[in-house]
Structure 1
Amino acid sequence: MSKLNGDVLNLIFKVFHSDNKTLYSCLLVNKTWCEIVIPFLWKDPWKDLIGENENLLLNVIISHLSDELINNLKSQGVDFLTNSYTKPLFNYISFCKHLNLNVIERMINANIFIETSTVKNEVINLFINENTKFTHLYIPHKFNYQIHLIPGTDHCFSELEFLSCNTCITDNALNGLTEICKSIKVLELIEVVKSTNGIVKLIEAPKRLFTIRLITENCRVDEPFYKILENSFTKHANFIQDFITNKSSISNILSSFVNLKRLELRCNNFKSVATWDCLKDLSLPFLQTLKAIKIPFDVLASLIDNTNGYLNEISISYVHNDEFSNKRIIQAIYKNCPNLKYLKLLFRSSNILELENLLTRCQYLDGLFLITDMYLYNDYILFENLFEVLARSSPTNLFKFKIYINKTPKLESLKLFFDNWKGRHPMLLQTIQYNKNWDEPFDLIEKYKVEGIIKKYDHVLNESIFEDFEWIEQKF
């Protein structure tokens, strides 16, 4: 395999483009592998940086500076490079496709204890020139740098697709961003507070926006400005397919996104959930993916009622509910989502018959993530009934299960579940119980693995270890 053609290797490594652990293991095979893998690792070097890794990355970045600039920095007291400075084997920066000025600013501020503006300018010039070309750009809070005046900017950002910025950046920076962001397709606005009209011009500058993310880090926003901000998306309304926000809409802008395919809603402040009533009369006929965190069941049920059967992925979590609202949303799902493939939902044991109706009617279901009510500990799933229904009524394609448990099921219940599963596709099963190890079932699990009833089992202490609908690869 080490002698495979370079083009073939490149195609193989593309499959592992987000799996840094695997890519790192390929670096030392031979020179050819190393030369092909390095660009993949440096496409987005800012991803998953923690602790000492940030210092190491800054060292590598600074090592791209000329000897004259390095010596100049050392003479000014920048001595963290003194014992580790070597010229890089590759021009790593030329492989970057993501430019994260947030991380660059943080790394410099954490490691350099003199006036940092000179260092920042030189580092930015390393990235922004005629030898680089970025698809993603991340702008820090209160950014005041006129990027568009740097030589080579037009070439550097000619293929820019994604911009993330804070609405608190200065007018100088906004004017520059407006010039270089006409090609972006994804816009992420953070800390949506009162700003200047420059933000509106930035929103209107791209030819077509397909994805919008509005993230407010403060529960209080300037509502008149927020309404102006929402209305500025009108130009892109027919093109927007993906919308993410953690603030209830003030205007009726969502109703204009007639081609929306993905909607993600988060509520930072549970006390404000009543304001999400704006979703009740919302019609999104082409919606395919719905993800909601702390959004009331009743408004979500109304939203699902107003879709046209294209929903194939629903993830709903962290919300209070009663038996009626729980029943209402289960019914809304199985009546309106015949093509559903993945479902994450909080389930009340009193609605076991409605769950069985869902399993019977959603025949394309491929992965199921059930959550017990984490707020009402006296209302736990009756595992015997649940496991019986899953074994009896799960559609043919469904063999991937996650169950968030407050109470530990009895081994007898598990054994009956596995026995009733015989003859079906080997299951992928995860149980999730925060900060509580559950060692009892492992001998039982191994027995059913040998029999081919279970393919993989994990008991995890935190659901964030895996993506919602991922059973194989951990996030970290």
Structure 2
Amino acid sequence: MEKLNLDCFVIIFNELRDKKSLHSCLLVNKEWCHLIVPILWKNFFYYEEIEEDKTIFYNTILSLLSSSTKQILNDNDIKLPLTKFLKPPLFNYISFCKFPKYDIVNGIISMILKNNNNHDKRYLLEQEIYKSFIIQCKNIKELYWKTSQPLPLFPGASTCFSQLHKLNINLDYVNSNSLQEMAKYCKSLNELSVRNPKDSTGLISLIDAQKNLKEIFLYSIKFRERTYEKLSNTLSRKVNLLKLELSNIIIIPPSFLKSLINLTTIYIFFNEVDEQDDDIKKIKEFQRCLAISEFPNLQFLSIYWLLSFKELAKLIEKTNENLLHLDIYNTHRNVKNTGMLIISIANNCPKIKTLRTYIEPKDFIYVKSLLLNCKYLEVVKFDSLYAFINLNDNILGDELLNILAEFSPKFLTNITISAIWKYSIDGFIRLFESYKERNLRHFNLCKNYDYDITEDHKVIIKKYIDEGIIRNSTCTFY
């Protein structure tokens, strides 16, 4: 029973994120102290509120460096703070910590060396800090790797990194040889994130070594002129991947997508595209591969920047009615087949809950079947692709408002529509009156340059907010 009680306390203490409450519990008795100290140190990074806390933390870490490490630093004229303890520390605090991110190590270095930019001293101090963590931290689960230090070569690396589940690498710092070394004993990753990837032997070896990789994220700061043929071939072998995210990465050849039939989540972002022939050609090839790929288990799909919705519509036809969330952002202004996408969703996504896409007035006719067939919709956002439309003072948006008022499913309580189409006061009233029995959690308009709603529109929205029919809207703040 005593053991059970302690286990219960551990669960409770792990749920507490309030440092003051944990500190109070720390003083109850010795047993509680031994339970709480590891939790406080493991979660220290959640509590970095004031500089004094950081300084105490940094000094404690430095005080726990080995005598040999302190001697190496002293021999190289690196003076550590004169931290004195009346008694030896009760715990090996470093062993409780999560493996430190780059900014923590850099903070310790800056505290000691201040404005001294001597590269050799900074490198040596960084090396000794990482060595101390690697020796004393056992079986860490997460590593954010943003240093040129060869972490897998340090003593204790095989024990420290063998149980890694989540690895985030910045290849502007980490070289191929270090990745190859890491691949020797890091084989249990569930999640791998790579910033600024390269078609390197080390990265390929690391990915190939993984037995249970479920999620992979590849990010580039800008759209880079690189090919990733080896990386593409390697990913095609990871048929059990569930989640794929590509940001400013065009994998060549993109046909690797056809192999990843078990994906449940796809995020693709091309937010640094120059509208030049070469970039456009690559994105067209990528879209063609989307059209011929099949993801029968796909539930979440987000895409940023497309030239056409035709290929996307074909992809959705093969999702086996499992798609729950579809987000499309900042699409190319001359994108085609917006209506085809709405039809495909209406016919193939009966379980969908969230839809954010672009349509034009000619597509309003398809929204009715979308709302009738997709009865679990909770969130819709219909934006316009164009910054300016010659409306000739016509009110185009009322057709959309009327469809929403008459056919919205009962779960649809979050609506955002483009301000560019213009709406009558009566159109607003009809929509809001249709929600009297269930209420709108959110009602918003996408602002498009000079197009805006009138003060009369704001008054109507405010009226329905005051009546509790609309809970939240940013429209009244425009």
Q: TM-score normalised by the shorter chain: which range applies? A: 0.7 to 0.9
Matched, 1:253 2:256: yes
Is residue 334 of structure 1 aligned with residue 346 of structure 2?
A: yes
- 1:389 counterpart residue number: 403
C-alpha deviation, 1:357, in angstroms: 1.8
Deviation (angstroms), 1:164: 1.8
Aligned CA-pair RMSD: 4.5
Query: 2: CA distance between counterparts of 1:445 and 1:44?
Result: 44
Contact 1:160 1:183 in 2 (8 A): yes
SS state of the match for residue 417, structure 1?
A: helix
Structure 2 SS opposite 1:201: helix
Q: Does the C-alpha gap of structure 1 residues 281 and 54 become closer, same or farther in structure 2, counting only changes over 3 Å?
A: farther
Matches within 5 A, 1:442-457: 447-457=463-473
Q: Which amino acid aligns with 2:467?
A: E
Tell me which of 217, 224, 231 is aligned to 1:220. 224
Q: Is the CA contact 1:342–1:366 (under 8 Å) kept in the aligned structure 2?
A: yes
The aligned counterpart of 1:123 is: 129
In structure 2, the CA distance between the partners of 1:105 and 1:418, relative to structure 1 (3 Å rule), is same
* Alpha-carbon contact 1:248-1:275 (below 8 Å) kept: no
Cα distance in 2 between the residues matched to 1:445 and 1:29: 49
In 2, are the aligned partners of 1:432 and 1:460 still within 8 Å (CA)?
no
* Displacement of 1:210: 1.1
What is the aligned partner in structure 2 of residue 64 from structure 1?
A: 61
Contact 1:346–1:370 (8 Å) recurs in 2: yes
Q: Distance in 2 between matches of 1:310 and 1:164?
A: 30
**Deviating more after overlay: 416-425 vs 251-260:** 416-425
Q: Does 1:155 align with 2:165?
A: no
Greater helix share, 1 or 2?
2
What amino acid does structure 2 have at the position aligned with 1:368?
V
**How far apart, CA to CA, are the structure 2 residues paired with 1:291 and 1:182?**
29
What corresponds to 2:178 in structure 1?
Answer: 173
Q: TM-score, normalised by structure 1?
A: 0.76
* Greater alpha carbon shift after TM alignment, 401-410 vs 292-301: 401-410
Identity of aligned residues (%): 25
* Residue 149 (structure 1) shift: 2.9
1:387 maps to a residue whose letter is L
Gap regions ≥5 residues in structure 1: 463-476
Q: Match of 1:453, as an amino acid?
A: I
Residue identity matched to 1:455: R
Q: Distance in 1 between matches of 2:401 and 2:123?
A: 62
- Seen in structure 2, the aligned counterparts of structure 1 residues 229 and 382 have a Cα distance that, compared at 3 Å, is same
Matches within 5 A, 1:291-330: 291-296=302-307, 297-322=309-334, 324-330=336-342
Residue of structure 2 in register with 1:349 after alignment: 361
CA distance, structure 2, for counterparts of residue 61 and residue 381 of structure 1: 63
Q: Which residue identity does 1:393 align to in structure 2? A: F
For the 8 Å contact 2:140–2:164, the answer to whether it is kept is yes
Q: How far has the Cα of 1:358 moved from its partner?
A: 1.0
Read off the aligned partner of 2:310 and give its amino acid letter. Answer: D
1:178-189 counterparts in 2 under 5 A?
178-189=183-194
Q: Confirm or deny: 8 A CA contact 1:133 1:157 kept in the other structure.
A: yes
Q: Structure 1 CA distance, aligned partners of 2:138 and 2:349?
A: 45
DSSP 3-state at the match of 2:210: coil
Deviation at 1:347, TM superposition (A): 2.5
Find out whether 1:103 has 2:103 as its counterpart. yes
SS at match of 2:385: coil
Give, in whole Å, the separation in 1 of the partners of 2:223 and 2:465: 48
- Residue 264 to residue 231, structure 1, CA distance change in 2 (3 Å): same
Alpha carbons of structure 1 residues 167 and 427: separation in structure 2 relative to 1, 3 Å: closer
How far apart are residue 118 of structure 1 and its match?
2.9
The CA deviation at 1:274 is: 2.2
Judged with a 3 Å threshold, the aligned counterparts in structure 2 of structure 1 residues 13 and 105 are, in CA distance, closer, same or farther, namely closer
Query: Residues 200-236 of structure 1: CA distance to partner in whole angstroms, max 9, x if unpaired?
Result: 211111112111222233533442xx11111123442
Select which of 384, 391, 406 maps to 1:372: 384
Amino acid at match of 1:119: L
Please tell me whether the aligned partners of residues 435 and 461 of structure 1 are also in contact (alpha carbons under 8 angstroms).
no
Separation (CA, whole Å) in 2 of partners of 1:396 and 1:11: 39
1:274 to 284, 289, 300: 284
What is the total number of aligned residue pairs between the two structures? Answer: 443
Quick one: structure 1 residues 105 and 65, their matched pair in 2 at CA, closer, same or farther if it must change by over 3 Å?
Answer: closer
Asked whether 1:285 is paired with 2:296, we answer: yes
Q: Is the 8 A contact 2:414 2:440 kept in 1?
A: no
Alignment partner, residue 198 of structure 2:
193
Q: Offset at 1:421?
A: 1.3
Q: Is the 8 A contact 1:213 1:244 kept in 2?
A: yes
CA displacement at 1:9 relative to structure 2: 7.8
Distance 1:30 1:44, change over 3 A: closer
CA distance in 1: counterparts of 2:458 and 2:53, whole angstroms: 40
Matching residue of 1:427: 441
- Contact 1:348/1:381 (<8 A) preserved: no
Q: Is the 8 A contact 1:429 1:456 kept in 2?
A: yes
Normalising by structure 2, what TM-score?
A: 0.75
Query: In the aligned structure 2, how far is the partner of 1:372 from the partner of 1:333?
Result: 18
| Deviation larger for 200-209 or 448-457 | 448-457
User: Cα distance, 1:286 vs. partner?
Assistant: 1.8
Secondary structure in structure 2 of the residue aligned to 1:165: strand
| Pair 301,422 (structure 1): closer, same or farther in 2 beyond 3 Å | same
> Which of residues 139, 163, 166 is equivalent to 2:145?
139
Task: Report SS of the residue matched to 2:218.
Answer: strand
Rounded Cα–Cα distance in structure 1 between residues aligned with 2:6 and 2:469 = 41
